Structure 1
Amino acid sequence: MNIVNYSLPDELKKRVSESIANLKNTNTVERIWKKDPKLWKENPSEDIELSNRLGWLTLPSENIKRIKEFRDFADELKSDYEYVIVLGMGGSSLAPEVFAKTYGSEKGYPALSILDSTHPAVVKKVLEHEDLNKTLFVVASKSGGTAETMSFYYTIYEALANFLPLPGLQMVVLTDPGSSLEKLAIEKGFRKIFNTPAEVGGRFSALSEYGLVPAAMIGMDLNIFLANANNLADTCSPSFIDENNPGLYLGTLLGEAANTGIDKLTFIASRSIESFPQWAEQLIAESTGKEDKGILPVTDEAFTNLNKYGSDRIFVYLRNDEDDNESLDERVAELKSSGFPVIEIKMKDAYGLAEEFFRWEFATAVSGIILKINPFDQPNVQLAKTLANQSLATYKNTGSLPSEKPDFEESGISVFGTGDTKNLAVTFSRFFASIKSGDFVSLMAFLPYDDRIEAKLRELRTKVLEKYSVTTTSGYGPRFLHSTGQLHKGGPNNGLFIQITDSIKEDIDVPGQNYTFGVLVTAQAQGDMKALLQKERRVLRLHLNKNTLKELDYIISCI
Structure 2
Amino acid sequence: MVGEELTVTISDEELAAQAAPLVDELVSDQVASKVAAQDPTLWGPDAESEASIRLSWTTLHKSSRPLIGEIEALREELRGEGVDRIVLAGMGGSSLAPEVIAATENVALTVLDTTDPGQVADALAGDLQRTVLVVSSKSGGTVETDSHRRIFAKAFADNGIDAARRIVVVTDPGSPLSELAEKEGYRKVFLADPHVGGRYSALTAFGLVPAGLAGADIARLLDQAAAAAQVLGNDSADNPAVKLAAAWAAAHNAGAEKVVLADTGSGITGFADWAEQLIAESTGKLGTGLLPVAVDGPAAPGFADAGADATPVAIGPVTGAAKVATTGSLGAQFLLWEFATAIAGRLLKINPFDQPDVEAAKKAARSLLDDPSKLTGGETPTTVDDAVEIFAPRELAAARSATVEGGGGRREGVSGDGSLSDVLREFLATAPEGGYLAVQAYLDRLDDASAALLRPELAKRTGLQTTFGWGPRFLHSTGQYHKGGHQNGIFLQITGANEDDLDVPDRPYTLGQLQHAQALGDGQVLTERGRPVLRLHLTDRAAGLAELMRAVQEAE
Same fold (TM over 0.5): yes
CA contact (8 A) 1:391 1:402 kept: no
- Aligned match of 2:364: 387
Give the C-alpha shift of residue 100 in structure 1. Answer: 2.1
Partner of 1:266: 260
Residue of structure 1 in register with 2:273 after alignment:
278
Task: Supply the distance in 2 between the matched residues of 1:555 and 1:318 (Cα, whole angstroms).
Answer: 31
**2:100 aligned partner:** 98
Distance 1:318 1:307 in 2: 14
1:415 aligns with 2:390: yes
* Residues 75, 333 of structure 1: alpha-carbon distance in 2 compared, 3 angstrom cutoff: same
Tell me the distance in 2 between the aligned counterparts of 1:83 and 1:301.
Answer: 29
Deviation by residue 1:177-208 (Cα, 9 ceiling, x = unmatched): 11111111111111101111110111111100
Residues in 2 aligned to 1:179 and 1:307: alpha-carbon distance in whole angstroms: 45
CA distance in 1, matches of 2:202, 2:304: 37
Alignment check: 8 A CA contact 1:142 1:176 kept: yes
3-state DSSP class of the match of 2:102?
helix
Structure 1 stretch 55-64 or stretch 246-255: which is displaced more?
246-255
8 A contact 2:232–2:241 mirrored in 1: yes
- 1:108 maps to none
User: Secondary structure of 2:193's match?
Assistant: coil
Aligned to 1:343: 325
| Alignment pair present for 1:334 and 2:320 | yes
> Aligned equivalents of 2:422 and 2:175: distance in 1?
51
Instruction: String of CA shifts for 1:82-108, please: whole Å, max 9, x gaps.
Output: 200111100001111112221123xxx
Structure 2 partner of 1:316: 313
Which amino acid is the alignment partner of residue 295 of structure 2?
D
Counterpart position of 1:373: 350
CA distance, structure 1, for counterparts of residue 386 and residue 374 of structure 2: 29
Give the match for residue 121 of structure 1. Answer: 118
Name the structure 1 match of 2:41: 38
Match of residue 220, structure 1, among 197, 216, 220:
216
Corresponding residue SS for 1:19: helix
* Superposition pairs of residues 4-15 of structure 1, within 5 angstroms: 4-15=7-18
Deviation at 1:401, TM superposition (A): 4.6
Q: Which of 25, 28, 37 is the aligned partner of 1:25?
A: 28
How do 1:523-534 and structure 2 match up within 5 A?
Answer: 523-534=517-528
Tell me the CA shift for residue 272 of structure 1: 4.7
Distance (whole Å) between structure 2 residues aligned to residue 301 and residue 541 of structure 1 = 25
Q: CA deviation at 1:304?
A: 4.7
Aligned to 1:508: 502
* Aligned counterpart, 2:228: 232
Q: Contact 1:104 / 1:218 at 8 angstroms: preserved in 2? A: no
Per the alignment, in what secondary structure is the counterpart of residue 499 of structure 1? strand
Question: In the superposition, relative to structure 1, how do residues 32 and 7 fare at CA in structure 2: closer, same or farther (>3 Å)?
Answer: closer
Residue of structure 1 in register with 2:403 after alignment? none
For the residues of structure 1 that align with 2:377 and 2:360, how far apart are their CA atoms? Answer: 17
* Alignment partners' CA distance in 2, 1:489 and 1:297: 14
Residue 291 (structure 1) aligns with: 286
Contact kept, 8 Å, 1:391 with 1:401, in 2: the verdict is: no
**Alignment check: 8 A CA contact 1:456 1:549 kept:** no
Give TM-score scaled by structure 1 length. 0.89
How many Å separate the matches in 2 of 1:463 and 1:219?
Answer: 37
The equivalent residue for 1:130 is 126
1:157-556 aligned at under 5 Å gives the runs 157-164=153-160, 166-237=162-233, 240-269=234-263, 270=265, 272-301=267-296, 303-304=299-300, 308-319=305-316, 333-335=319-321, 341-345=323-327, 347=328, 352-395=329-372, 401=376, 403-416=378-391, 417=393, 418-419=396-397, 420-421=399-400, 422=414, 423=418, 424-450=420-446, 453-458=448-453, 460-545=454-539, 547-556=540-549
Q: Where does residue 49 of structure 1 map in the other structure?
A: 50
The letter for the 2-side match of 1:309 is: A
Distance 1:539 1:226, change over 3 A: same
CA distance in 2, matches of 1:82, 1:490: 42
- Aligned AA for 1:22? E
For residues 480-500 of structure 1, the C-alpha deviation after alignment (integer angstroms, 9 at most, x for no partner) is 000011111111012121000
- Checking the alignment, whether the CA contact within 8 Å between 1:317 and 1:344 is kept in structure 2 is yes
Bigger mean CA offset, 292-301 vs 137-146: 292-301
Distance 2:380 2:87 in 1: 38
- Give the paired residue count: 524
| Partner of residue 86, structure 1 | 88
DSSP 3-state at the match of 2:439? strand
1:379 is paired with a residue whose SS is: coil
* Deviation of 1:436 (Å): 4.1
Do 2:266 and 2:315's aligned partners in 1 also have CA atoms closer than 8 Å? no
Instruction: Give the match's secondary structure for 1:515.
Output: coil
Alignment CA distance shift 1:533-1:27 (3 Å): same
TM-score of the aligned structures, taking structure 2 as reference length: 0.90
TM-aligned CA deviation for residue 261 of structure 1: 1.7
Q: 1:514 to 1:266 in 2, by over 3 A?
A: same
CA change 1:53–1:405 in 2 (3 A) is same
Offset of 1:293 from its aligned partner?
A: 1.0
Superposition deviation, residue 41 in structure 1 = 2.6
Classify the secondary structure of the residue corresponding to 1:373: coil
Instruction: Summarize deviations over 1:95-123 as a string: whole Å, max 9, x none.
Output: 11112221123xxxxx3211111111111
SS of 2:272's partner is helix
Residues of 2 paired with 1:202 and 1:155: CA distance? 24
Query: Which string of whole-angstrom CA distances, capped at 9 and with x for unpartnered residues, describes residues 505-543 of structure 1?
Result: 211110001110011000000101001111111211111
The corresponding residue for 1:326 is: none
Are the counterparts in 1 of residues 281 and 355 from structure 2 also a CA contact under 8 Å?
yes
Whole-angstrom distance in 2 between the partners of 1:26 and 1:308 = 36
Cα distance in 1 for residues equivalent to 2:433 and 2:374? 45
CA, structure 1 residues 409+506, in 2 after alignment: closer, same or farther (shift >3 Å)? same
Contact 1:308/1:466 (8 A) holds in 2: no
1:365, 1:301 → 2: CA distance? 26
**Preserved contact between residue 301 and residue 461 of structure 1 (Cα < 8 Å):** no
Whole-Å separation in 1 of the counterparts to 2:167 and 2:185: 9
Deviation at 1:232, TM superposition (A): 0.6
Going from structure 1 to structure 2, the CA distance change for 1:48 and 1:190 (only over 3 Å counts) comes to same
Matched residue of 1:49: which SS? helix
Distance 1:5 1:163, change over 3 A: closer
More displaced, 296-305 or 374-383? Answer: 296-305
State the distance in 2 between where 1:193 and 1:229 align: 25
Hey, what's the Cα distance between the residues in 2 that align with 1:449 and 1:293? 30
Distance in structure 1 (CA, Å) of the matches to 2:235 and 2:55: 18
Shift of 1:308: 4.0
Q: Sequence identity, in percent?
A: 37
Change (3 A) 1:226 1:366: same
